[in-house]
Structure 1
């Protein structure tokens, strides 16, 4: 099969012929339909998060099941599925406590370079995030996948596995946004727009979008923002405090920068909650004014929207089919696997919400 292989930090990905193994007892072979380009992939390409090379990136993926292992019970050939990096075992103490998204059981979540599922010229390739979606096929543990209804377009379904479940889940699960509340979302990429969309679905009365690009702010209005703040045109904190008369109930940081986390915390009103979604450099630190804790302001993290994978993705599919989840508008470009490097260049320009690699030979797009 063809795959986009990362062979060197900072270099373009190479389209190579890659061998994929047969499914083991609890593994599933999937023909890839679509895979989104995510900033997490870009961080790895730039070497911010080191990994054994060569490797195949890509984790925001959908496809059609081709074959299942001998112990797989919930999936069969022909099923349409969405893959997600928050694979879980279901029986460790973390899973048993209701936090499946935090599962680190090596039975299902193997570090890059440990799983022997892909080979290049006879040598092992690193499977990244237990998925490696930048390829015509993926071989994964069954708990990586969720079956979806077959009338759901697979190019849009792919976005559910990362950007959308992360943004909406942070709203629904991590922060538990209430109807009538006020929200600010800092960063209007794929995750931020999904958080805005989620806040609108949750019934937030005031949703303020903050970004430096006017085109993204206009898109944010389509996703449900009631107000927009151009952070490049003045003090974003002061603008939000002025709009709200003292701060918001919920703030969401969707970039992964020290400055924007601190700004989100400063945008809160009394008893407000800031939820950090963005992916940081490993050595990043933040500073907060301690006196604000006496106003019962809170800050928390959110991994992949604190998701419950097998429950959340079918629900998000239903919200899309009802016209409430705006996946059509989230896709800025559809490209082929051969154009993946151009897609990452477009991502770095800041002018796209989500760029999706599609494999037209797979039905359901």
Structure 2
């Protein structure tokens, strides 16, 4: 059996769209039909080589989607054929299986425990969480990362409390999830900072109380003026070292600066470490420390209760054949959330 797939053959080059041979299922593996997949900033990072040279080329891409289970391998017990599922990159319940290995003729195409830029995918059982059939697949894709990472960074990593002041810098995909998470957690005020007005406007829709366009005004001055001082919790989703240095300045002496965005492998930032000795916290966030099989049902309850509309987060949609154009739109800053529809 073959499936159309987007393949990263060379960094800083467009993805190839080709048909790959799907391997037979092994222990703990699951065949899933992908129905919707979000394009994440992480994929832009893979293409651009943010983490350095890629030793796994050529390989498949994508780590957040909604789909339907078609077939299960040996010992799989958490999902069955016909189940609707969230495909997520953070490990959840079930077996950690070996990564699938696809082929084009005799050429090996590598993959991780999950890839989603393809119509059919072989996924490790623990990268799947079952959801009710009436949950749309785009919402499922948002639950895979945007909401679990954004909410988790706020509630698990930073442990934001009611009434604390929050600043989110970079309110595209994950940043928008962090804004919403802070609002739902009872933070006040919630300041959104970005260089794109349309992203700031969307952040306002999802709970930001104040907006700062850092193209037009100083982040440090604007936040200090709004709060009368530094913030309790600051989230950098840009991965930009110059921005991180500013973020450190607007974090209170007992506050937390969370690095959610990923800096390029050859970049550095400079800061005075003395405040660390007196309670100021600087830490990274990996997926918001989310626990998918625990968090996804919780967030679904919020959606069903009408607390927010995840569909309103989506700005663009494309087919698999249009993925390179969609990536260019993301790179330009125009897109907030782009869904590949299958």
Interval of TM-score (by shorter of Structure 1 and Structure 2): over 0.9
| Matches of 2:252 and 2:50, distance apart in 1 | 34
> Which residue is equivalent to 1:30?
32
Flag the 1:109–1:231 CA change in 2: closer, same or farther, 3 A.
farther
> Which residue is equivalent to 2:90?
86
SS of 1:282 mapped into structure 2 = coil
1:88 Cα offset (Å)? 5.8
| Matches of 1:116 and 1:124, distance apart in 2 | 10
> Which residue is equivalent to 1:362?
none
Give the counterpart of 1:227 among 197, 210, 220: 210
> Which residue is equivalent to 2:255?
272
> Which residue is equivalent to 1:124?
108
| Matches of 1:276 and 1:189, distance apart in 2 | 15
| Matches of 2:286 and 2:242, distance apart in 1 | 20
> Which residue is equivalent to 1:149?
132
| Matches of 1:47 and 1:177, distance apart in 2 | 33
| Matches of 1:35 and 1:146, distance apart in 2 | 15
How large is the RMSD of aligned CA atoms in angstroms?
1.7
| Matches of 2:308 and 2:236, distance apart in 1 | 20
- Spell out the pairing of 1:103-122 with structure 2 (5 A cutoff): 108=96, 115-122=99-106
Q: Which segment drifts farther, 23-32 or 191-200?
A: 23-32
> Which residue is equivalent to 1:171?
154
Q: Would you say how many aligned residue pairs link Structure 1 and Structure 2? A: 338
| Matches of 1:181 and 1:202, distance apart in 2 | 9
TM-score with structure 2 setting the length: 0.94
Q: Which segment drifts farther, 299-308 or 4-13?
A: 4-13
- Spell out the pairing of 1:170-249 with structure 2 (5 A cutoff): 170-249=153-232
TM-score with structure 1 setting the length: 0.88
SS of 2:69 mapped into structure 1 = strand
Query: For structure 1, which runs of at least 5 residues remain unmatched after alignment?
Result: 91-106, 360-365
> Which residue is equivalent to 1:57?
61
Conservation of the 8 A alpha-carbon contact between 1:152 and 1:321: no
> Which residue is equivalent to 2:19?
17
Q: Which segment drifts farther, 346-355 or 292-301?
A: 292-301
The one-character-per-residue Cα deviations of 1:68-122 (angstroms, maximum 9, x if unpaired) are: 11201111011111111122688xxxxxxxxxxxxxxxx8376xxxx34311123
| Matches of 1:301 and 1:326, distance apart in 2 | 28
SS of 1:263 mapped into structure 2 = helix
| Matches of 1:342 and 1:236, distance apart in 2 | 32
1:321 Cα offset (Å)? 2.1
| Matches of 2:167 and 2:200, distance apart in 1 | 13
| Matches of 1:22 and 1:72, distance apart in 2 | 15
| Matches of 1:325 and 1:319, distance apart in 2 | 7
1:307 Cα offset (Å)? 0.8
> Which residue is equivalent to 2:78?
74
